[in-house]
Structure 1
Amino acid sequence: METVEVVLAMLVAVIASAYLARLLPVALPLPLIQIALGAVISGVFRHGVALDPDIFFLLFLPPLLFVDGWRIPKIGLFRDKATILELALGLVMFTVAGAGWLLHWMIPAMPLAVAFALAAIVAPTDPVAVSSITARVPMPPRLQHIIEGESLLNDASGLVCFRFAVAAAMTGQFSPTRASLTFLWIALAGVAAGVAITVAITRTHGILQRRFGETDGVPVLINLLTPFGAYLVAERLNASGILAAVAAGVTMSYLELSGAATPGTRIRRNVIWDTLQFTLNGTMFVLLGEQLPDIVRGALHPAGGAPFDLAWLAGRALALSVGLVLLRFAWVWISLQLTLLNRKRLGRQLFKPRLRVMLATSVSGVRGALTMAGVMTLPLSLPNGDPFPARQLAIFLAATVIVFSLLLASAALPAVLRGLTMPDEPEATCSEDDARHAATQAAITALEQAQKADAGTADQHGQALAHVLRLYRHRLATADAAVGHSDAQALQRTERQYRLLALNAERDTVLRLARRMDVSDETARKLLRQIDLLEARYQQD
């Protein structure tokens, strides 16, 4: 019963954090407030919810990574794929090497393999934490797309490095060839599993829907279960469940362009996913806050070892946190110079970013609950029965890095980003106004064809169709007067039929533009939501 009370208190803390973020005189990032509330809950109940890493990964990460992959702008993701891969792969390896040697140099008692394991688990940025920061800080869209893309893809490289560093600490052996082959399998099989499971579930659901009809709520539930299916299948294949969830989300964003989902399903699905995303995001950080008191006690008084001095611990934690920022800045600068040299060699237009762009990219490397869950998987003991070296110290340092990165980003990003300019994003073939115009033209064409087909039918049909046509032509700056009618109810029913016909034509046009990537994902979703809401309104009349 007490565990249920703690869980309910966590959910209340998530709600309270949203209001506290608005009430506090100092602008603090929402994750920090949630971490603080989690620590309070742990103190009130004298214990929090035990963080089982396997359960945490299964319950929290698949849906959150799925929705992030689903909603990330694909045009920006593919346009800046080279930069994103440099950060997601190259930066992780660079950080593991640099931070690992730094840790071993600062703390000689920490074996090199353990230092590399800790460096590997703090190297990836957390997509949930990144989203929480960028939601409150106005960031140039192109930079935000790069940071979000990096955070979605760098988990696989970080977790592979972590896995092999732990194996080296346990056995004293390391094989670069085996590590490389394992990384390829984990990444490629994870992506393949996510794509295959999502396509299979969507196609199967489509067949069942056409044959047996649809039940309210079933499509939304299937959509909610898809990321868990992708994650579990990938884990069974010893691949990356994290990449599988991301790939499932990206795949779903393409599959939804088929227009198979009904307007009501899309509306309910968006509302449920927004609520679930807010709840799980907040619960993750509250859960992290609940672990902090025990983590600090365990680091100050490690089992079977001499207690550490708090000032010594704080100094090492601060040095590691600053070192991670400097390593990130160094990699960003090096990769930027290489990119400029390559563009110059190819004769392309050069844009030399200002120092503030590199600073913004460096301090945007926010760590989150993913790092904490990963470091908690460190073994308790070695094969010979001895305690795993520096385990509590590693957990404390990882928790400190999370808090420091959140504080740094919330304090530095507003100042660094103020007035920051980035290269203009290449415009989509169609702007939002162009897409609206094309959809309206398609609606008018569909209505005109219906007008020809219905010539000679009842007068109320002609009145209703003419009225709908005027509404759409008015949208194209053609003002017309309203038309009177005698049979109001019959006219309204007929008018509704033509309105739905026109809305279907609008939707088909927007989906076609999105499939051809002539219009951005954000614009397509915005227009589809407006069309769906109108259609839901007319269907309820």
Structure 2
Amino acid sequence: MNAVETFELVLLLLAAVVGLHAFADKLRFPPSAALLVGGGLLAFIPGLPQVTLDPELALVLFLPPLLFDGAYFTAYGRFRAHLPGIISLAVGAVVFTTCLVAVAVKWLVPGLPWAACFALGAIVSPPDAVSARAILQRVQLPRRLQALLEGESLLNDATGLVLFRFAVAATLSGAFSTGEAMASFAVLALGGAAFGLIFGRLAVLLLKTIEDRTLFVTTTALICWAAYLGGEALHVSGVIATVAAGLVVGWYQHEVMPARVRIQGTGFWRTMIFSLEALVFILIGFSLRSVVDRAGGFAEVTATMAGPVLGIIVAVTAARFLWVFGSDALLALLRRAGVRRARPVGTRQAGVLAWTGMRGVVTLAVALTLPDTMPAAT
């Protein structure tokens, strides 16, 4: 496609976003699901060009503003109060899902090396921040449950990305060190948090010097990408750096932003986040055609991949349920043993928590970064 055709396609997708979103609202149907289905149907319209998401561009373009926006509006006190539960989901559940999926893949496709199985497990292990946001905006949940889901969506991508990198390196090199992986994860996580906190504080000082409202709002938009790219440039977690910077700027927003600036900024961010989230979902659906073509067509997908794909979906879902209900049962036992700080959420809330592990843009983007030399990468 030339530049004009690309621009025309973007306009078409934006028009489709408006139509599908309005249609979903009228039928009280989740807009994210409508955009996914609509994008998938659009992909197979004769004459429309194929769209292939560039994985690096998808992560850099969509992830930082969505993470920053979520962190900015997160109540810091509530986030800190529920941090143990958030870490349990964002780290423990992701690691557990990676391992369980790896075992399932090895059983379903015995010819794959263990490291490649773990790489696939890491790809599908982190629930998607965009999907979680899309659901949370349309339902009323207990405050603790909402805090857990919001916090998990901010941090779990970092765990999945780190696990994926180590699994790919182990597959290609044939060597893996658990101690080295844990040390590297600690450096990436702690380094990302430290850089994000420092960068966020510097951003607050910068914002205090800006008086023009339009320039102020524009600068806040640049902060999220600067935090992410700065963290990646320093070889720490850009995801955690963005979240930490967003928490700091959000914490000090009332000190640096007059009410009129916050109103203008809120309108700008709502429009930008809505556009990015909608484009993510419709592009995921629109990329279905290229995924099917890479696999060799629907017949090949049905014949050779339907079983393993179904098995992986079952493993991912089961892992989420096992971790959530297992953790809640452990908290209930500790509570009965006299540990007052152990507060189980209960069966009903645990059921909601277990069903909210949607996958989305990060899973797709990371899958597309698999090296061609990986076993079964194509």
* TM-score interval for Structure 1 and Structure 2 normalised by the shorter chain: over 0.9
What is the number of residues matched between the two proteins? 374
Considering only CA atoms, is the larger Rg found in Structure 1 or Structure 2? 1
Q: Which residue among 89, 96, 99 is the counterpart of 1:97?
A: 99
Q: Which amino acid aligns with 2:7?
A: V
4+ long deviations beyond 6 Å: none
Task: Tell me, yes or no, if structure 1 residue 327 matches structure 2 residue 323.
Answer: no
Verify the 8 A CA contact 1:41 1:48 in the aligned structure 2: no
Partner of 1:416 in structure 2?
A: none
Alignment of 1:128-147 (within 5 A): 128-147=130-149
Letter in 2 for 1:239: V
Q: For residues 73-88 of structure 1, what are the structure 2 equivalents within 5 Å?
A: 73-88=75-90
The equivalent position to 1:289 in structure 2, one of 285, 288, 291, is: 285
What are structure 2's unaligned runs of at least 5 residues? Answer: none
TM-score by length of 2: 0.93
Contact 2:24/2:34, CA 8 A, preserved across alignment: yes
Distance 1:137 1:169, change over 3 A: same
1:229 pairs with one of 219, 226, 236 = 226
Report Cα offsets for 1:414-453 as digits up to 9, x if no partner.
xxxxxxxxxxxxxxxxxxxxxxxxxxxxxxxxxxxxxxxx
Give 1:240-255 correspondences, 5 Å limit: 240-255=237-252
Q: 1:150 to 1:7 in 2, by over 3 A?
A: same
* CA gap 1:226/1:114 in 2 versus in 1, 3 angstroms: same
Q: State the distance in 1 between where 2:376 and 2:101 align.
A: 16
Q: How many angstroms does 1:308 deviate by?
A: 3.7
Give the AA of the match of 2:232.
E
* Residue 13, structure 1, aligned to residue 9, structure 2: no
Aligned to 2:349: 357
CA–CA distance in structure 2, aligned partners of residues 63 and 135 of structure 1: 17
One-letter identity of the residue aligned with 2:231:
A
Matches within 5 A, 1:113-512: 113-206=115-208, 208-209=209-210, 214-258=211-255, 260-300=256-296, 308=300, 310-348=302-340, 353-381=345-373, 388-392=374-378
Question: 1:190–1:352: structure 2 CA closer, same or farther, 3 Å change rule?
Answer: closer
State the percentage of identical aligned residues: 35
Q: Could you say what secondary structure the match of 1:124 adopts?
A: coil
Distance 1:222 1:96, change over 3 A: same
Extract unaligned runs of 5+ from structure 1: 382-387, 393-541
- Partners of 1:249 and 1:141 lie apart in 2 by 20
Residue 292 of structure 1 aligns with an amino acid whose one-letter code is L
Following the alignment from structure 2 to structure 1, what is the Cα–Cα distance between the partners of residues 145 and 312? 25
Shift of 1:312: 4.5
User: After superposition, what is the alpha-carbon deviation per residue over 1:287-344, rounded to whole angstroms, capped at 9, x for unaligned?
Assistant: 1112111112222459xxxx84505422321221122111111111222232233334
Render the CA deviation track for 1:110-166: whole Å, top value 9, x for unaligned.
322111111111111111101112223333232122112111111111111100111
* Code of the aligned partner of 1:313: M
For the residues of structure 1 that align with 2:38 and 2:174, how far apart are their CA atoms?
41
For residues 246 and 309 of structure 1, what CA distance do their matches in structure 2 show? Answer: 38
TM-score by length of 1: 0.66
Matched residues in 2 for 1:375 and 1:360: separation? 27
Amino acid at match of 1:238: H
Q: Are 1:3 and 1:49, in contact at CA under 8 Å, matched by a contact in 2? A: no
The range that moved more, 178-187 or 309-318, is 309-318
Which secondary structure does the structure 1 equivalent of 2:340 belong to? coil
Matched-pair contact (CA < 8 Å) for 1:164–1:179:
yes
Q: Is the 8 A contact 1:6 1:48 kept in 2?
A: no
Aligned-pair CA distance for 1:352: 5.7
1:350/1:227 CA distance change after superposition, 3 Å = closer
Q: Which amino acid aligns with 2:31?
A: L
**Matched residue SS, 1:217:** helix
Quick one: distance in 1 between partners of 2:339 and 2:234? 45
What CA distance in whole angstroms lies between the structure 1 residues aligned with 2:313 and 2:330? 26
Question: How much is the aligned-residue C-alpha RMSD, in angstroms?
Answer: 2.0
Superposed CA deviations along residues 148-191 of structure 1, whole A, max 9, x for unmatched, are 21111111111111001111111111111211111011111111
Q: CA deviation at 1:273?
A: 0.5
